[in-house]
Structure 1
Amino acid sequence: MDKSEYKFEPIQKDSLVVELTKRILDYIFSGSIKPGDKLPAERQLSEALGVGRSAIREAIKSLTVLGILEVRQGYGTYLKRADSTLLTQSIEWSLLLGERQTMDLIEARKEIELTLAKLATERWEGLELEELHQIVEKMKDANLTDFIEYDIQFHLKLSDMARNSVLKDILSSIRSLLRTWIKYVIEKAGETAFSYEDHYAIYKAVAERNAEAAVKAMAYHMDDATKRLIEVLQETEQSRKALQQK
């Protein structure tokens, strides 16, 4: 899509910087600009969105803090190049911006995981339990990067054992969200022992076919991870505000 084809919708009234930030993200997600491309000048954005140039600068500053944009002095503002897909980036940015829809998705994930834990406990067969155990064992001594992948494997394996194709498809569809969520939680903690213990407790309950204990262990894990994630979001928001005040 040619850059000139994208039509910004003017902001009709004064709004928070986060609203303006969302508008710029809409532009990025539209496909009008690709990683490495230069954004329209502040003056153009100001006219298109119907806001002052100072507000544009604040929004750009916020997106720079998040690592989305790069300001090159004397040259302009550019969309950073990234190895991840735009889908993964959009989920990550939404998390950092505190999008209500993303928080709703996190809430929904908890309910899905509780149901999967219960069904997996009741329905696992053959070598599935040993496969789950192997994942847990790999988590025990894994570095931070590998732990994230084993964490995802654990939850996807539970979805296999639950034998519910609809729930499995839903969990698989939000795999990018899982990776982003787990990454923030683990990196904030700086260690993995607490998460390993959570997963071992779930595994133990599943192995014993104790559905009540499995649901309880999964609920504890989800609540703890959500609490840690919210702390990350709050710290990011505080950093953004501090930068704006400079």
Structure 2
Amino acid sequence: MTMKNIKPIDTLSLVDKVEIRLLEFFKNNNLKPGDPIPKELEFSESLGVSRTVIREALLRLRTLGLVESKKHRGMVLTEPDIINNFARILDPTLLGTGILKNLFELRLILEMGMADFLFERKTQKDLDDLEEIVVKEEEQESDQSHFSLDKEIAFHGKLYQISNNKTLQGFQQLLLPVFEYVHLKNTPQDFKHRYSSGHFVTHRMLMDNIKIGTPETFRNAMRHHLEPHFDSIFKEK
């Protein structure tokens, strides 16, 4: 006897189904941000459900930033703020270890992948700003191999800014609480690392690489700079 002919029970609520239908309607009609959408009554009559159900489904979409009410225009489609939607739920204290690890890995992936954008979009002012950040941290900390969350945020935050990609900058701000959470969970002993190259790649070395190096040499330098984090993750297999 086989169970192939038994279909799974549909556990979606009526509001869930209406929400899916509304999204399908937007896509099938090629609606773009700013376009008006039908009124609640029209949706209610077309889908054969109450206006209360339609209203609740639209409220969900409004919470996601997909629709909003405009004076004299009614409900219109909007462009959702992806970063803000993530930020609403990205509280490190409410996330499991697996999710925190994946988000921290995302930060490493982003920083390894931004090299070409940095070299294409850097300006002299950007280099001057980096110089100021590095000089300040050198004055405050004699041991440049010592991990400091504040100086990491200042230097790497500037790199995200140089990329001139607003979404990337948003992700960096979004991941800061996760970075802080992971940092605070570690002890000073966790940040002592024997580097494969024999030395720590400092922020000054990274900055000099941006000034006179290439995207490839910068990627290699950044990989060595982030080596303790990569090794820590890969050892958790």
**Structure with the greater alpha carbon radius of gyration:** 2
Scaled by the length of structure 1, the TM-score of the pair is 0.47
By percentage of residues, which structure has more helix? 1
Scaled by the length of structure 2, the TM-score of the pair is 0.49
